[in-house]
């Protein structure tokens, strides 16, 4: 099979994909990259780093060797889309589709999410050369994203300029980019700094990829065989993969990970029972790096040597993680993590590990109250919801300093304490750390089911989010409130949730009293769910025949009171030193 080398502008391929001139063979795998993968790709383009070679086949639209499909979202965002491919992408789909997603922002949820995302570049980070923190994605349901959108559904340029945030969609069209840059964004910086920022943006705009081309005359069966081989071996290399290759003389990382995966229950759980999930061993490596005061940015981790990572240090790190950290983290009465799915940020284990390894070498003394204050501060400020490596490195340094000098309070805790009174706990996204954090508190408090006389922590797999003001009840009354926010939700058994269904709160409260014998017992149960006596009386007063205005008023009162109770608990956790 004869192949030709060439170079092509990456954005030109993306634009052709939008029009249907670049497509995929229908045996390609689905788009599987996550938000972090797309952010990393954007950062690589900003720095003009090599992102790999693309394998394509040049074709004639009227004589295609395969059935073809569009890049995901292309036929949805372009009303003039026509399937007339000149190029079929055989290897490079994930990279091309990721950039397409960032540039054209189709309303398609990313992997492991339920909402579409939009991607941005923080221009201020570019001015400081913080490339790894410059690219970020926000859910289109996120409050911060919505503030950037005007009444016509378009970006509000004034807001973007205030924040110095540049949507990737502005790079999709060259004329539009030039107009927006020179009229709106260039003036935000001095002449020299503006030139520097634009150079970074131009790195994306003019990025060229290496392309291997297969001629259109090649037989389809030969292409299919080649693609199958690529699909088996062409997995995107992670830093873990690169370290495995580079340090093979000192440690077989993959073999060591597989051994620990098969032997240690919580490691297997944290890796979602997927032995190919190398995020957890990567966090262990990051913990080793932190313990030696290294940065955990990818470009620094790749430089780690055998004095830091070898069989002995790896074994010590895994033992410390299992015996001194995971045994502690998965203590339900302490952190409310009844199941690995309730751990908000698995990447936090790198910081825990770095601290405990330092302590074992006698370099610091562990103060668990201080660490806990930091832990809960990170959870309830959603501190690690975007790019995290820079913040984690800083947090680690802050913690090491704080453990030896109580006057040096970490930034994460200062942010929590200064923002707690004004922050809104109104998330509707079950994957957010605030959402999980509130449910962690329920487990931690020993919350019980509403009907069954058992604690919810003993029935984790059978739990469901319950709307305290049941969703169907509110809908039946045509109540216009934010019924899905976490402040209107708690955890109970799925069987109980089905029984409550669309009942008025007063109806299921009466049923609880009948089951448990008297009101005082019901009040004790609800108190663990952050429902005090005043809120109990309020729920009792919401009947099947209550008017819409009455229900709306009492719902809003309930939400305010519950938020106040939860914040009081958060304050207690983050100020305990």
Query: What is the rounded CA–CA span in Å between residue 468 and residue 558?
Result: 10
**CA atoms within 13 Å, Cβ hemisphere of 496:** 25
pLDDT band at 3 (very low <50, low <70, confident <90, very high): low
- Average pLDDT (227-235) is 47
- Dihedral in degrees, nearest 10, Cα atoms 139, 144, 149, 154: -50
pLDDT band at 245 (very low <50, low <70, confident <90, very high): low
Whether 509 shows a pLDDT value over 50: the answer reads yes
Query: What is the rounded CA–CA span in Å between residue 512 and residue 500?
Result: 10
Cβ distance 116 to 107 under 8 Å? yes
How many helices (DSSP H) and strands (DSSP E) are in the chain?
29, 11
Q: Which residue has the tokens 């990721």?
A: 98
Burial of 264 (0-12, 13-18, 19+ CB in 10 A): middle
Tell me the backbone φ, ψ of residue 286, rounded to 5 degrees: -60, -40
pLDDT at 232: 45
Whether 539 shows a pLDDT value over 60: the answer reads yes
DSSP string, 163-185: HTEEEGGGGS-HHHHHHHIIIII
Whether 221 shows a pLDDT value over 50: the answer reads no
- Give the chain's largest Cα–Cα span: 83
Average pLDDT for the chain: 90
Whether 224 shows a pLDDT value over 60: the answer reads no
Q: Which residue has the tokens 């190398």?
A: 278
Query: What is the rounded CA–CA span in Å between residue 151 and residue 158?
Result: 14
Cβ distance 66 to 154 under 8 Å? no
Whether 216 shows a pLDDT value over 80: the answer reads no
Q: Which two tokens stand for residue 259?
A: 């051994």
As beta bridge partners, residue 212 has: 5, 55
- Average pLDDT (396-421) is 94
pLDDT at 227: 52
Best mean pLDDT range from 246-255, 382-391, 489-498: 489-498
What lies within 8 Å, CB to CB, of 520 at 6+ separation is none
pLDDT at 178: 95
Query: What is the rounded CA–CA span in Å between residue 326 and residue 265?
Result: 10
Name which residue leads in pLDDT, 297 or 571: 571
pLDDT at 233: 44
Q: What percent of the chain has pLDDT over 70?
A: 93
Quick check: pTM over 0.95? Answer: no
Q: How do residues 106-154 score in pLDDT, each as one tens digit?
A: 999 988 888 999 999 999 999 999 998 899 999 999 999 999 999 888 9
**Domain spans of the chain?**
4-210, 239-419, 433-574
pLDDT at 228: 47
- Average pLDDT (510-530) is 96
Query: What is the rounded CA–CA span in Å between residue 171 and residue 15?
Result: 11
The β-bridge relationship of strands 22-25 and 165-167 is: unpaired
pLDDT at 386: 72
The closest alpha carbon to 24, from 77, 71, 75, belongs to 71
Q: How do residues 481-507 score in pLDDT, each as one tens digit?
A: 999 999 999 999 999 999 998 999 999
pLDDT band at 387 (very low <50, low <70, confident <90, very high): low
Whether 262 shows a pLDDT value over 70: the answer reads yes
pLDDT at 167: 97
**Rounded to whole angstroms, what are the CA distances from 261 to 237, 255, 273, 274, 464?**
20, 10, 8, 9, 29
pLDDT at 218: 53
Q: Which residue has the tokens 């994460």?
A: 412
- Average pLDDT (346-375) is 96
- Supply angle C-alpha 120, 289, 136, rounded to 5: 5
The β-bridge relationship of strands 463-467 and 489-493 is: antiparallel
The closest alpha carbon to 483, from 470, 493, 494, belongs to 470
pLDDT at 62: 86
């Amino acid at each position: 099979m004869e192949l030709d080398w060439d170079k092509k502008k990456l954005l030109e391929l993306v634009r052709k994909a939008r029009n249907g001139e670049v497509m995929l063979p229908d045996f390609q795998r689905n788009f599987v990259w996550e938000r972090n993968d797309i952010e990393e790709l954007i950062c690589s383009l900003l720095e003009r780093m090599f992102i790999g070679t693309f394998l394509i086949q040049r074709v004639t639209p009227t004589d295609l060797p395969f059935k073809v499909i569009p890049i995901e979202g292309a036929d949805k965002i372009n009303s003039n889309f026509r399937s007339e491919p000149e190029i079929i992408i055989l290897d490079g789909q994930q990279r091309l589709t990721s950039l397409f997603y960032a540039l054209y922002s189709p309303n398609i949820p990313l992997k492991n999410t339920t909402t579409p995302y939009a991607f941005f570049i923080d221009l201020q980070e570019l001015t400081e050369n913080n490339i790894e923190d410059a690219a970020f994605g926000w859910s289109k349901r996120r409050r911060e994203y919505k503030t950037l959108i005007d009444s016509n559904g378009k970006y509000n340029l004034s807001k973007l300029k205030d924040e110095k945030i540049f949507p990737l969609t502005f790079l999709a069209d060259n004329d539009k980019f030039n107009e927006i840059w020179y009229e709106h964004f260039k003036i935000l910086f001095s002449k020299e700094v503006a030139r520097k920022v634009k150079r970074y943006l131009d790195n994306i705009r003019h990025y060229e990829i290496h392309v291997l081309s297969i001629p259109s005359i090649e037989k389809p069966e030969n292409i299919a065989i080649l693609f199958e081989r690529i699909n088996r071996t062409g997995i995107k290399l992670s830093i873990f993969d690169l370290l495995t290759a580079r340090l093979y003389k000192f440690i077989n990382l993959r073999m060591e990970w597989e051994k620990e995966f098969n032997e240690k229950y919580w490691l297997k759980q944290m890796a979602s029972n997927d032995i190919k999930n190398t995020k957890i061993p990567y966090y262990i490596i990051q913990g080793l790096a932190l313990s030696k005061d290294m940065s955990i940015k990818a470009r620094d981790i790749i430089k780690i040597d055998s004095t830091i990572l070898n069989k002995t240090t790896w074994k010590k790190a895994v033992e410390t993680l299992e015996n001194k950290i995971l045994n502690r983290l998965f203590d339900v009465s302490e952190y409310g993590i009844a199941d690995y799915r309730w751990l908000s940020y698995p990447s936090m284990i790198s910081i825990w590990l770095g601290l405990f390894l330092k302590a074992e070498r006698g370099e610091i003394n562990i103060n668990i109250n201080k660490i806990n204050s930091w832990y809960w501060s990170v959870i309830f400020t959603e501190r690690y919801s975007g790019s995290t490596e820079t913040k984690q490195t800083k947090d680690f340094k802050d913690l090491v300093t704080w453990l030896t000098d109580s006057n040096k309070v970490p930034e994460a805790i200062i942010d929590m304490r200064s923002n707690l009174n004004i922050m809104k706990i109104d998330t509707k996204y079950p994957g957010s750390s605030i959402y999980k954090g509130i449910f962690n508190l329920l487990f931690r408090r020993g919350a019980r089911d509403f009907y069954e006389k058992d604690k919810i922590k003993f029935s984790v797999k059978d739990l469901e989010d319950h709307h305290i003001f049941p969703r169907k009840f509110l809908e039946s009354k045509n109540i216009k409130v934010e019924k899905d926010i976490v402040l209107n939700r708690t955890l109970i058994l799925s069987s109980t949730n089905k029984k409550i269904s669309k009942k008025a709160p007063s109806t299921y409260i009466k049923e609880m009293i009948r089951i448990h014998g008297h009101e005082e017992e019901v009040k004790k149960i609800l108190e663990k769910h952050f429902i005090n006596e005043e809120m109990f009386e309020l729920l009792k007063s919401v009947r099947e025949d209550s008017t819409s205005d009455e229900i709306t008023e009492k719902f809003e009162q309930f939400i305010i009171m519950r938020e106040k109770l939860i914040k009081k608990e958060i304050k207690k956790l983050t100020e305990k030193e």
